[in-house]
Amino acid sequence: MSTVAIEASSRSTRASRSKNVAAKAKPAPNLRRPRIGAGKSPELEAPQNQARVTKQEQVLTLLSRPDGASIEEIMHATDWQQHSVRGFLAGTVKKKLGFTLTSSKESGEARRYRIATRRSR
């Protein structure tokens, strides 16, 4: 009698294992996020003949003003972090583009950066 009980119990575990395997064999749900702008209608998109304004152009416009711009103003205009703004000023504005960048600090105010002149190469 004990052998019959063992065979019956082994059958039940085999059946439960096959159910678990079948449950694991289901295809995984699509976890990819939908593409941004995938469902945009043509009316909402910017016209093709309109020029894009890049973040670099935005920053250079801010720096070209007579009073210049603070890091906080550039951060707000571009949605960059503070270290990214400083890196852009040092790497792109000064080194790549060759602008002379001046900074001034009034007492009690934030430091302001301004493009003085373009350096000759």
Interval 93-116: pLDDT, tens: 999 999 999 999 999 999 999 998
Q: Which fold has domain 55-118?
A: Arc Repressor Mutant, subunit A (1.10.10)
Taking only the tens place, the pLDDT of each residue in 26-64 is 666 667 766 666 665 555 555 677 788 999 999 999 999
pLDDT at 50: 79
pLDDT at 121: 47
Residue 83 has pLDDT above 50, yes or no: yes
Tell me the mean pLDDT in the region 71-98.
Answer: 95
Contact present, 113 and 101 (Cβ < 8 Å): yes
Cα 57 to its chain centre, rounded Å, is 19
Strand order, beta sheet including 69-70: 69-70, 112-118, 99-104
Domain definitions of the chain by residue range? 55-118
pLDDT at 5: 56
